């Protein structure tokens, strides 16, 4: 059998384990198509920088990667993940099941024979226990299609091994939490510059996870744009249903402005540096007044200037100016969201 004719789809987190999984399989003559799945909870910005990301991954690791958005099924799954949540609002087992299921759907497009992941048995308490790895295979319907090349010895032979496409004896037998074997393998491939252990999923962040969880409790129709909004900057809840997201630095100010949707109100200080804020779900006068006062509170203070500061309020195409003093700190505290 000609190995060059076989293709594997790889779940690619961008962490070292997924890099190595791709490389050890490619080393056996298999073409590897890496897929980087994104949602607003992790790596969503890659959707706007895909070409740059692909080049970086190709140049650094010799891996061909594609970025795919799985937000819609992910948001549905997060309502009630069958295998529950981890320490925070992270549904790691169902997240893996979902990603592998989505990868399976892509197999026909790429004429792929199997799927690989960088999972290592024993590395993570929730999603990489031996029994959990079995559950992930079973529930993603990839029983004999899924190869975990870094720890192949922990699973029964896959169809691709039985067909002689992959030789398990040539794969590394890594297990447990230690990182030394991965570092050694990386050095063997000449890979020295790689990210630290995967991070960056906001569902594992204590405060952001609580914020998302609260939103899920009070909402049945989960909306992608609202999730992105919820994760932006400093957050406030206003008495008439308004949500306010306020940037904390220039980058966040730009991000907040980019998140603007039809119906949103955008607020900026008119004559001094300060945050950009986006008001959603309300155009009530009181919510706009409080938003302006919050903006002044976090804007630049100018000694000796009058207490009322101009705030430009943009609704649709219409700009109006309101003047407001800074909201006192005790009131700020009552409006601050997690
Ligand atoms: S940490 Fe986040 S991205 Fe990683 S498996 Fe868990 S839920 Fe999925």
Judge if the beta carbon of residue 92 lies within 6 A of ligand 1.
Answer: yes
Q: For the chain, give the longest Cα–Cα distance.
A: 82
Q: What is the DSSP string of 137-200?
A: HHHHT-TTTEE-TTBGGGSPPPHHHHTTSS-GGGS-B--SS--HHHHHHHHHTT-----SSS--
Distance 203 CA to ligand 1 centre (A): 7
Give the pLDDT mean for 69-82. 97
Is 215 contained in some domain? Answer: no
CA 107 to chain centre: 23
Q: What is the pLDDT of residues 326-337, one digit of tens each?
A: 999 999 999 998
Same domain, 50 and 113: yes
Same domain, 138 and 241: no
Same domain, 182 and 251: no
The edge-to-edge listing of strands for the beta sheet with 318-324 is: 234-237, 243-246, 276-280, 265-269, 309-315, 318-324
Atom 2 of ligand 1: nearest residue by CA position? 201
Q: What is the pLDDT of residues 25-42, one digit of tens each?
A: 999 999 999 999 999 999
Range of the domain at 284: 233-335
* Residue 181 tokens, joined: 């074997």
Domain boundary among 166, 188, 210: 188
Task: Please report the pLDDT score of residue 127 as a whole number.
Answer: 72
Atom 3 of ligand 1: nearest residue by CA position? 201
pLDDT above 70 covers a percentage of the chain that reads 97
Is 201 contained in some domain? Answer: no
Same domain, 243 and 150: no
Same domain, 28 and 175: yes
Q: What is the pLDDT of residues 48-69, one digit of tens each?
A: 999 999 999 999 999 999 999 9
Give the mean pLDDT of the chain. 93
Same domain, 59 and 167: yes
Judge if the beta carbon of residue 203 lies within 6 A of ligand 1.
Answer: yes
Is 331 contained in some domain? Answer: yes
Distance 134 CA to ligand 1 centre (A): 18
Is 154's pLDDT higher than 80?
no
Atom of ligand 1 nearest to the CA of 92: 6
* Residue 98 tokens, joined: 């979902």
Same domain, 13 and 105: yes
Task: Please report the pLDDT score of residue 2 as a whole number.
Answer: 47
CA 263 to chain centre: 26
Same domain, 184 and 44: yes
Give the pLDDT mean for 2-25. 90
Q: Identify the three-state secondary structure at position 328.
A: coil
Do the beta carbons of residue 136 and residue 93 sit within 8 Å? yes
Same domain, 170 and 108: yes
Q: pTM to 2 decimals?
A: 0.89
Closest CA to 27 of 133, 116, 119: 116
Distance 205 CA to ligand 1 centre (A): 11
Same domain, 100 and 153: yes
List Cβ neighbours of 19 (8 Å cut-off, separation of 6 or more): 12, 61, 63, 118, 186, 191, 194
Same domain, 175 and 256: no
pLDDT band at 197 (very low <50, low <70, confident <90, very high): low
Is 212 contained in some domain? Answer: no
Do the beta carbons of residue 286 and residue 319 sit within 8 Å? no
DSSP 8-state code for residue 299: S
Is 211 contained in some domain? Answer: no
Distance 198 CA to ligand 1 centre (A): 9
Atom 1 of ligand 1: nearest residue by CA position? 201
pLDDT band at 121 (very low <50, low <70, confident <90, very high): confident
Is 213 contained in some domain? Answer: no
Is 259's pLDDT higher than 60?
yes
Is 135 contained in some domain? Answer: yes
Same domain, 157 and 283: no
pLDDT band at 3 (very low <50, low <70, confident <90, very high): very low
Give the pLDDT mean for 135-141. 95
Judge if the beta carbon of residue 136 lies within 6 A of ligand 1.
Answer: no
Q: CATH number of the domain at 34, please.
A: 3.40.50.620
Task: Please report the pLDDT score of residue 294 as a whole number.
Answer: 98
Query: How many distinct structural domains can be found in the chain?
Result: 2
Judge if the beta carbon of residue 42 lies within 6 A of ligand 1.
Answer: yes
Q: What is the pLDDT of residues 215-248, one digit of tens each?
A: 898 888 888 999 999 999 999 999 999 999 999 9
Is 194 contained in some domain? Answer: no
Q: What is the DSSP string of 185-251?
A: HHHHTT-----SSS---GGGSHHHHHHHHHHHHH-SS--HHHHHHHTSSEEEE-TTS-EEEE-SSHH
Domain boundary among 127, 159, 188: 188
Q: 170-179, 195-204, 291-300: which has the highest mean pLDDT?
A: 291-300
Task: Please report the pLDDT score of residue 177 as a whole number.
Answer: 85
Judge if the beta carbon of residue 201 lies within 6 A of ligand 1.
Answer: yes
The Cβ of residue 13 has, within 10 Å, a number of other Cβ atoms equal to 23
pLDDT band at 1 (very low <50, low <70, confident <90, very high): very low
- The pick from 42, 87, 132 for probing ligand 1's pocket by mutation, whose C-beta has the most ligand atoms within 8 angstroms, reads 42
């Amino acid at each position: 059998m000609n190995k060059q004719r076989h293709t594997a789809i790889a779940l690619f987190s961008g962490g070292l384990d997924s890099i190595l999984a791709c490389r050890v399989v490619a080393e056996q003559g298999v073409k590897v198509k890496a897929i980087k799945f994104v949602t607003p909870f992790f790596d969503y910005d890659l959707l706007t920088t895909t070409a740059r990301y692909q080049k970086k991954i190709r140049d650094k690791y010799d891996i061909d990667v594609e970025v795919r958005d799985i937000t819609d099924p992910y948001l549905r799954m997060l309502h009630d993940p069958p295998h529950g949540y981890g320490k925070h609002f992270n549904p790691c087992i169902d997240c893996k099941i979902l990603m592998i299921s989505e990868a399976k759907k892509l197999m026909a497009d790429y004429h792929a024979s199997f799927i690989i992941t960088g999972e290592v048995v024993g590395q993570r308490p929730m999603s990489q226990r031996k029994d959990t790895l079995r559950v992930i295979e079973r529930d993603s319907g990839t029983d004999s299609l899924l190869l975990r090349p870094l720890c192949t010895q922990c699973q029964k032979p896959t169809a691709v091994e039985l067909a002689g496409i992959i030789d398990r004896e040539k794969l590394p037998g890594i297990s447990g939490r230690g990182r030394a074997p991965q570092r050694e393998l990386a050095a063997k491939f000449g890979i020295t510059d790689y990210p630290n252990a995967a991070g960056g999923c906001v569902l594992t962040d204590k405060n952001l996870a609580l914020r998302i969880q609260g939103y899920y409790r009070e909402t049945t129709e989960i909306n992608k744009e609202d999730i992105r909004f919820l994760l932006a900057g400093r957050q406030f809840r206003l008495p008439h249903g308004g949500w306010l997201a306020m940037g904390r630095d220039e980058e966040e100010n730009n991000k907040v402005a980019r998140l603007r949707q039809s119906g949103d109100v955008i607020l900026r200080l008119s004559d001094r540096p300060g945050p950009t804020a986006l008001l959603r779900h309300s155009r009530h006068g009181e919510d706009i007044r409080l938003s302006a006062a919050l903006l002044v509170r976090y804007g630049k203070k100018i000694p000796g200037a009058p207490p009322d500061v101009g705030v430009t309020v943009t609704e649709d195409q219409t700009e109006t100016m309101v003047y407001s003093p800074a909201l006192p700190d005790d009131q700020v505290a009552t409006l601050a969201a997690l």
